[in-house]
Chain A
Amino acid sequence: MCASVKYNIRGPALIPRMKTKHRIYYITLFSIVLLGLIATGMFQFWPHSIESSNDWNVEKRSVRDVPVVRLPADSPIPERGDLSCRMHTCFDVYRCGFNPKNKIKVYIYALKKYVDDFGVPVSNTISREYNELLTAISDSDYYTDDISRACLFVPSIDVLNQNTLRIKETAQALAQLSRWDRGTNHLLFNMLPGGPPDYNTALDVPRDRALLAGGGFSTWTYRQGYDVSIPVYSPLSAEVDLPEKGPGPRRYFLLSSQVGLHPEYREDVEALQVKHGESVLVLDKCTNLSEGVLSVRKRCHKHQVFDYPQVLQEATFCVVLRGAQLGQAVLSDVLQAGCVPVVIADSYILPFSEVLDWKRASVVVPEEKMSDVYSILQSIPQRQIEEMQRQVRARRENWLAWGSQAWVTQKTGPSRNQPLIINDRIYPYAAISYEEWNDPPAVKWGSVSNPLFLPLIPPQSQGFTAIVLTYDRVESLFRVITEVSKVPSLSKLLVVWNNQNKNPPEDSLWPKIRVPLKVVRTAENKLSNRFFPYDEIETEAVLAIDDDIIMLTSDELQFGYEVWREFPDRLVGYPGRLHLWDHEMNKWKYESEWTNEVSMVLTGAAFYHKYFNYLYTYKMPGDIKNWVDAHMNCEDIAMNFLVANVTGKAVIKVTPRKKFKCPECTAIDGLSLDQTHMVERSECINKFASVFGTMPLKVVEHRADPVLYKDDFPEKLKSFPNIGSL
């Protein structure tokens, strides 16, 4: 390449002489240059692609090619599981360190094949399900490939099914893992524990302090707050795609679909069928199937053949009876089919019971009461059954989707849950709430969780802080200050000086009032400055008031504060407004006429809780805040939307209608209540409704007056006589 460069540098001298051929020569030259450029360009990217394709090759290995590890017969065996283990005794949190994202890191050991001295493998290298599970963990945010940063270790030794492994040798294999350290912070996955004859309810492999995610725990083996109970995977429901069924009555009321039930239990369920006839269906294995039909997919009742698991969709309730093992794969099938499980397995720890509320999605019946199952289920009201069916559906979608897709996509699916549950234990303050685990999306969408849910009437002694937003109307401002300072419960006055070009008047010029007066200068002339959670606000109640609202009497303001105390989670204001649906234009319309209803109050004069200042400044959805500042309008409508949306409650308008001097035109001086103004306000409502995705405002027909307002009662005996006078 260097040579060609040299040649070409000398080249130019030749060209003039070769007139006839110079075109071809140029073309050749250009092609060479072009080729060179392409080659160099390729070179730029080549090493990278070589590397990544190397990675590719590394990953695309065969399971059969994994390294083989020979376990000497006398290699150490871990202690048996310690039943008294708890997070604070057996779990090493120091390894989890402090992570700003409050997220633990999970490491997966590389896959190896373990053989004994004679070369006989200890277990199947890895099952399909375990491979999928590890893939899901590896794809999740919890995964790390750096063993020194990991907090949780997952061995790649597959112990899902105890019957496919040799117990002692598997334990030896665990003990020689590089970070084993008595099993501290190691997480094992097991679905089928125990073996004949007594079928223990937890994995028999000695595992010392390792955490166990097991399917089929009983109250005696489950270490509350340490182990994790998981469902038993059912290959059947993963293969079959069942359509979703809405809640409602089904063809059969109760269905038993399990094969291989203990004869005693089979007698019991068959007795149920005899007693209750058509509404109960008891299925068993088919005996007379022709060759070639998958027997696991069929169930029979007498000579009638049913498709399994499709038949589960025909029943309201499906029995999940214990077998030799407590955890039954049929539970997954039943959930997948949208049938409400009736769990009859004493002392069984239901999957993820630490966080999932199974009361809402299943019926648990003691084994003793098996003969009463029918009447127990009959006593459940239809509405509750439908609620359970909805819960089962949500559970299937959210948490227990055992289809292979969910395993891999890891957005949902159980493999995500185990790190999550353990994560929540280590970082409880970042934990997921009961509602997030259990409420179906429909409830989450419609529900409101009021941030001020405790019914409290704040003491009067606290008083309120008045915040006056002002630009340069000093004279009017001083009048407002003087008027407001007459209100007995006023405890502080805050003037937000929004004019950067002009200094506020000197201290000596301000009116002398009995409460502290503080002036806050802002950096920018923005309407949202009015709703900033200033440190100076020490009371819970805030009165937002414009610098031109001089018509409110002291009685009216004091009464407004009293009303706020009774409704501390609402906006309590004076001028009320309404939003209406304009059927012609097909959009919302702002209404300031004298109507019988209100849905907003203007914040030109309104009491509210200071927490809403925090919400307005930091939690306002979308771009509303910037939009308001850019348009210099509608900050009050935005506040009304915000409060109604978060509390689900309507505003309270106080006292009769007064003639306010255009309370809406705070921003632009002199703008009258004309048509353009109303159009602009209507636009705000439509814009906010689209950002919130809903119309949170609530319309009410009432306003608050003093108890004796306009009653035939001596005026001087009334607490708030001076109300409503113009």
Chain B
Amino acid sequence: MQSWRRKSVWLALSASWLLLVLLGGFSLLRLALPPRPRPRAPQGWPRWLDADLLQSFSQPGELPEDAAQPPRAPHGGSCNWGSCFDTSKCRGDGLKVFVYPAAGPISETHRKILASIEDSRFHTFSPAGACLLLLLSLDAQTGECSSMPLQWNRGRNHLVLRLHPASCPRTFQLGQAMVAEASPTVDSFRAGFDVALPFLPEAHPLRGGAPGQLRQHSPQRGVALLALEEERGGWRTAGSNSSACPWDGRCEQDPGPGQTQRWEMLPNATFCLISGHRPQAASRFLQALQAGCIPVLLSPRWELPFSEVIDWTKAAIIADERLLLQVLAALQEMSPAQVLALRQQTQFLWDAYFSSVEKVIHTTLEVIQDRIFGTSAHPSLLWNSPPGALLALSTFSTSPQDFPFYHLQQGSRPEGRFSALIWVGASGQPPLKLIQAVAGSQHCAQILVLWSNERPLPSRWTETAVPLTVIDGCRKVSDRFFPYSTIRTDAILSLDARSSLSTSEVDFAFVVWQSFPERMVGFLTSSHFWDEAHGGWGYTAERTNEFSMVLTMAAFYHRYYHTLFTHSLPKALRTLADEAPTCVDVLMNFLVAAVTKLPPIKVPYGKQRQEAAPLVPGGPDTGPKLQAPDPNCINQIAAAFGHMPLRSSRLRLDPVLFKDPVSVQRKKYRSLEKP
């Protein structure tokens, strides 16, 4: 027992001593050896012992209080917005622009620009009433250099427009005039005062313009990663696995199969490498935008177009040319999400601001108007997300939630109620039955009757659960789309007195509209087609397998489209609608399609068989204002838009259980199915 205990004690003792020796030995060894440089934590800025005693960099009382003369910034010959532009002339109507008439014969570009300004809502014929005077200074070759105009006034409130950088020799001092120039150099550009324009090719279309080349959201598989500019104006693509080699030119000697290809016009690649100097780089930049090829700009020494309002970091990569290899590596590693976003943004920007001369000019004026408006200018979101600032008028609102386009980005929802706007045309019968049906909808907030005929207003209307307002309109058809201040809801149900709808049709259509607040949701449709025989557009209200327009005599849409219709459409188009009333439907559909780039939405219309006939334009008992489809109208409108914005849809949105073989009692919108 004892020996066992002793043994174990000794065992424990010797074990612990062994441990001691081992540990001690190591320590001694470590002492003997010179200390190895250990990876140390970075030594930061010292924490001073007397940090709390340090003095502040300035004492509040010490700030200079009395400068001798009124503090004014030195002008030094250069201008900025505050000092060189007189906004007092722009009160009231906002921006009004006067264009100096050309002295001699004018070039094609010049004519296009003049036309686009004269068509715009900014134009005025009187230089005295204008807030901005615009001077076109174009190519020196055509001998168009302007001399100093009459109302020059040292250039105050003047904008000198130069579409091409190598323009006129300066025949006079610019003075206080702003310069809108195609891709100006960063050194001469005065930010916030001058406007940077894109470098437009000679043949740039006046209106509409070629749409972007992007046909799908994500890059096609197998498409080249990089496109490089060629000497003679073409593009060369490089395979994705040889991203670095095209730069030093060695690949050209060894073009593998499909490695390098020539592209005459537009690049077909994910990224377009653009270096070099303007104007070449600037025109390449525009080509890349159109092609949906993400521009990779290497140290551009020129100002990007409309950089004051466009956030180019969302659509292009501006990199340092000295870090080329790093840039190429970064491009290859770029996440699909980033590529997707950049590509789509290039297309949006191209379509919104660059595809036609008209858009470029209007954008220029819009930029200047935003400066004048100050706090009520477009917020950045409106400039940088579809449909763009030209189509989202800041005069309507500056809160993105008020528009139909930004609900997702803002995390908001359209209002849950609508206003019914009933137009009483020639028939002059108070639409009592229709009012009752619409007022029966739980979503209806108010009913407005637009009395637009010769007969006197009836003094008595039916009792309704919702407020009813009667507006005595003029006799013009375009009045139907006037932004009446009495309309208080986001959604408008536009109706004709002769329309006939049931309450559940209205309810269902409105619920659908809430999912698509930027589109028109209608019951009756027509579709457009290309008429080979006449070489023009035509449209028909016949029932077909697809449609591209909904009739506004029964349709839901956002009230913003009233503002857009009245304030952004050229006057000529609205007059056209007044003269040929069937046109108004076409015009409204063109407008909404041009904004959304999507087709309208059709919902089921129950009473189609019995009562559809009087509703369809061209039906038997239509009044004098409803005529058969007028191909002239659609062609005129298409010409004014410069392109065909209408898109066709092949679907109709029905209630989920529509005509399904289940008990009618289970269906929410059962009355839609009654024969």
- Is chain B a partner of chain A in the same complex? yes
Question: Are the C-beta atoms of A707 and B545 separated by less than 8 Å?
Answer: yes
Task: State in angstroms the CA–CA spacing of A700 and B498 once bound together.
Answer: 30
Choose the segment among A56-64, A480-488, A501-509, A630-638 that binds chain B (4+ C-beta atoms closer than 8 Å). Answer: A56-64
Question: Are the C-beta atoms of A324 and B46 separated by less than 8 Å?
Answer: no
Task: State in angstroms the CA–CA spacing of A643 and B660 once bound together.
Answer: 28
Q: Does A288 contact B (CB under 8 A)?
A: no
Question: Are the C-beta atoms of A369 and B656 separated by less than 8 Å?
Answer: no
Given known A-B contacts A260-B66, A347-B80, A456 and B409 have beta carbons under 8 A apart? no
Q: Mark interface residues in B182-218 (1 if CB within 8 Å of A CB, else 0).
A: 0000110011100000000000000000000011111
Question: Are the C-beta atoms of A383 and B399 separated by less than 8 Å?
Answer: yes
Task: State in angstroms the CA–CA spacing of A614 and B339 once bound together.
Answer: 13
Task: State in angstroms the CA–CA spacing of A597 and B669 once bound together.
Answer: 11
Q: Please, which residues of chain B bring their CB within 8 A of the CB of A124?
A: 55
Given known A-B contacts A192-B57, A325-B64, A594 and B45 have beta carbons under 8 A apart? no
Question: Are the C-beta atoms of B71 and A324 separated by less than 8 Å?
Answer: yes
Question: Are the C-beta atoms of A366 and B87 separated by less than 8 Å?
Answer: yes
Question: Are the C-beta atoms of B217 and A705 separated by less than 8 Å?
Answer: no
Task: State in angstroms the CA–CA spacing of A707 and B376 once bound together.
Answer: 43
Question: Are the C-beta atoms of B216 and A60 separated by less than 8 Å?
Answer: no
Q: Mark interface residues in A108-147 (1 if CB within 8 Å of B CB, else 0).
A: 1001000000000000101111110011011100011110
Task: State in angstroms the CA–CA spacing of A362 and B515 once bound together.
Answer: 35
CB-CB nearest in chain B for A536: B221
Question: Are the C-beta atoms of B337 and A451 separated by less than 8 Å?
Answer: yes
Q: Does A551 contact B (CB under 8 A)?
A: no
B54, B348, B668: which contacts A454 (Cβ < 8 A)? B348
Question: Are the C-beta atoms of B82 and A426 separated by less than 8 Å?
Answer: no
Question: Are the C-beta atoms of B83 and A347 separated by less than 8 Å?
Answer: yes
Task: State in angstroms the CA–CA spacing of A347 and B85 once bound together.
Answer: 13
Q: Please, which residues of chain A bring their CB within 8 A of the CB of B329?
A: 98
Question: Are the C-beta atoms of A703 and B653 separated by less than 8 Å?
Answer: yes
Question: Are the C-beta atoms of A447 and B46 separated by less than 8 Å?
Answer: no
Q: Please, which residues of chain A bring their CB within 8 A of the CB of B658?
A: 656, 703, 705, 710
The number of chain B residues with a CB under 8 A from chain A is 142
Docked complex: A585-626 residues within 8 A CB-CB of B:
594-598, 609-611, 614, 619
Q: Please, which residues of chain B bring their CB within 8 A of the CB of A86?
A: 186, 301
Docked complex: B83-118 residues within 8 A CB-CB of A:
83, 87
Choose the segment among A67-75, A170-178, A457-465, A518-526 that binds chain B (4+ C-beta atoms closer than 8 Å). Answer: A457-465
Question: In the complex, which of the residues A40, A383, A433 has the most CB atoms of chain B within 10 Å of its own CB atom?
Answer: A40
Given known A-B contacts A428-B319, A702-B511, A448 and B71 have beta carbons under 8 A apart? no
Choose the segment among B20-28, B128-136, B557-565, B567-575 that binds chain A (4+ C-beta atoms closer than 8 Å). Answer: B20-28
Choose the segment among A195-203, A241-249, A470-478, A672-680 that binds chain B (4+ C-beta atoms closer than 8 Å). Answer: A195-203
Q: Does A629 contact B (CB under 8 A)?
A: no
Docked complex: B255-297 residues within 8 A CB-CB of A:
none
Given known A-B contacts A456-B216, A596-B668, A707 and B317 have beta carbons under 8 A apart? no
Docked complex: B619-675 residues within 8 A CB-CB of A:
647, 649-660, 662, 666-669
Question: Are the C-beta atoms of B330 and A429 separated by less than 8 Å?
Answer: yes
Q: Mark interface residues in B297-332 (1 if CB within 8 Å of A CB, else 0).
A: 001010000000001011001111111011101110
A163, A649, A701: which contacts B511 (Cβ < 8 A)? A701
Q: Does B347 contact A (CB under 8 A)?
A: yes
Given known A-B contacts A610-B218, A718-B545, A704 and B49 have beta carbons under 8 A apart? no
Choose the segment among B171-179, B228-236, B377-385 that binds chain A (4+ C-beta atoms closer than 8 Å). Answer: B377-385
Q: Please, which residues of chain B bring their CB within 8 A of the CB of A537?
A: 221
Q: Does A277 contact B (CB under 8 A)?
A: no
Question: Are the C-beta atoms of B411 and A447 separated by less than 8 Å?
Answer: yes
Choose the segment among B5-13, B452-460, B475-483 that binds chain A (4+ C-beta atoms closer than 8 Å). Answer: B5-13
Question: Are the C-beta atoms of A434 and B386 separated by less than 8 Å?
Answer: no
Q: Does B340 contact A (CB under 8 A)?
A: yes
Q: Please, which residues of chain B bring their CB within 8 A of the CB of A702?
A: 508, 511-512, 515, 603, 653-656
Q: Please, which residues of chain A bring their CB within 8 A of the CB of B82?
A: 346-347, 366-368
CB-CB nearest in chain A for B76: A220
Given known A-B contacts A379-B376, A380-B376, A594-B666, A706 and B64 have beta carbons under 8 A apart? no
Q: Does A236 contact B (CB under 8 A)?
A: yes
Question: In the complex, which of the residues B9, B58, B215, B327 has the most CB atoms of chain A within 10 Å of its own CB atom?
Answer: B58
Question: Are the C-beta atoms of B63 and A93 separated by less than 8 Å?
Answer: no
CB-CB nearest in chain A for B300: A88
Q: Please, which residues of chain B bring their CB within 8 A of the CB of A462?
A: 215-216
Task: State in angstroms the CA–CA spacing of A68 and B8 once bound together.
Answer: 68
Distance in Å: Cβ of A654 to nearest Cβ of chain B: 8
Q: Please, which residues of chain A bring their CB within 8 A of the CB of B50?
A: 62-64
Q: Does A452 contact B (CB under 8 A)?
A: yes
Choose the segment among B237-245, B425-433, B593-601 that binds chain A (4+ C-beta atoms closer than 8 Å). Answer: B593-601
Distance in Å: Cβ of B596 to nearest Cβ of chain A: 6
Distance in Å: Cβ of A58 to nearest Cβ of chain B: 7
Question: Are the C-beta atoms of A60 and B49 separated by less than 8 Å?
Answer: yes
Q: Mark interface residues in A1-30 (1 if CB within 8 Å of B CB, else 0).
A: 100010011001001100000000010011
Choose the segment among A41-49, A204-212, A393-401, A660-668 that binds chain B (4+ C-beta atoms closer than 8 Å). Answer: A41-49
Given known A-B contacts A98-B326, A703-B658, A8 and B46 have beta carbons under 8 A apart? no
Q: Mark interface residues in B584-618 (1 if CB within 8 Å of A CB, else 0).
A: 00000000000011110011000011000000000
CB-CB nearest in chain A for B402: A383
Q: Does A657 contact B (CB under 8 A)?
A: yes
Question: Are the C-beta atoms of B55 and A128 separated by less than 8 Å?
Answer: yes
Q: Mark interface residues in A692-722 (1 if CB within 8 Å of B CB, else 0).
A: 0000001011111111111111000111100
Question: Are the C-beta atoms of A701 and B508 separated by less than 8 Å?
Answer: yes
Question: Are the C-beta atoms of A428 and B313 separated by less than 8 Å?
Answer: yes
Q: Please, which residues of chain A bring their CB within 8 A of the CB of B217?
A: 452, 454, 456, 458, 540, 568, 609, 611
Given known A-B contacts A126-B54, A452-B340, A376 and B46 have beta carbons under 8 A apart? no
B42, B545, B603: which contacts A706 (Cβ < 8 A)? B545
B64, B544, B608: which contacts A324 (Cβ < 8 A)? B64
Given known A-B contacts A197-B67, A264-B70, A296-B61, A33 and B512 have beta carbons under 8 A apart? no
Docked complex: B1-39 residues within 8 A CB-CB of A:
6, 9-10, 13, 16-17, 19-21, 23-24, 26-27, 30, 35
Question: Are the C-beta atoms of A44 and B64 separated by less than 8 Å?
Answer: no
Q: Does A303 contact B (CB under 8 A)?
A: no
Given known A-B contacts A197-B68, A262-B67, A595 and B347 have beta carbons under 8 A apart? no
Q: Please, which residues of chain A bring their CB within 8 A of the CB of B16?
A: 30, 33, 37
Q: Does B578 contact A (CB under 8 A)?
A: no
Q: Does A581 contact B (CB under 8 A)?
A: no
CB-CB nearest in chain A for B42: A145
Q: Does B73 contact A (CB under 8 A)?
A: yes
Distance in Å: Cβ of A186 to nearest Cβ of chain B: 17
Q: Does A469 contact B (CB under 8 A)?
A: no
Given known A-B contacts A220-B74, A710-B659, A323 and B47 have beta carbons under 8 A apart? no
Q: Does B43 contact A (CB under 8 A)?
A: yes
Q: Please, which residues of chain B bring their CB within 8 A of the CB of A580?
A: none
The 7 closest A-B pairs by CB, nearest first: A446-B411, A260-B65, A138-B45, A127-B57, A138-B44, A454-B344, A346-B82
Q: Can you list 27 residue pairs at the A/B interface with Cβ under 8 Å?
A: A5-B20, A37-B19, A40-B24, A44-B27, A59-B43, A59-B46, A98-B329, A108-B45, A111-B46, A130-B57, A196-B67, A197-B68, A219-B190, A224-B186, A323-B67, A379-B375, A380-B375, A433-B313, A452-B340, A453-B344, A566-B651, A595-B656, A649-B408, A701-B668, A702-B653, A703-B655, A720-B545
B→A interface (CB under 8 Å) = 6, 9-10, 13, 16-17, 19-21, 23-24, 26-27, 30, 35, 42-51, 54-58, 60-68, 70-71, 73-74, 76, 78, 80-83, 87, 186-187, 190-192, 214-218, 220-222, 299, 301, 311, 313-314, 317-323, 325-327, 329-331, 334, 336-338, 340-341, 344, 347-348, 374-377, 379-380, 384-386, 398-399, 408-412, 508, 511-512, 515, 525, 543-547, 596-599, 602-603, 608-609, 647, 649-660, 662, 666-669
**10 new A-B pairs (CB below 8 Å) besides A59-B43, A62-B50?**
A26-B9, A60-B46, A191-B57, A236-B60, A260-B65, A458-B215, A594-B657, A700-B511, A702-B603, A702-B654
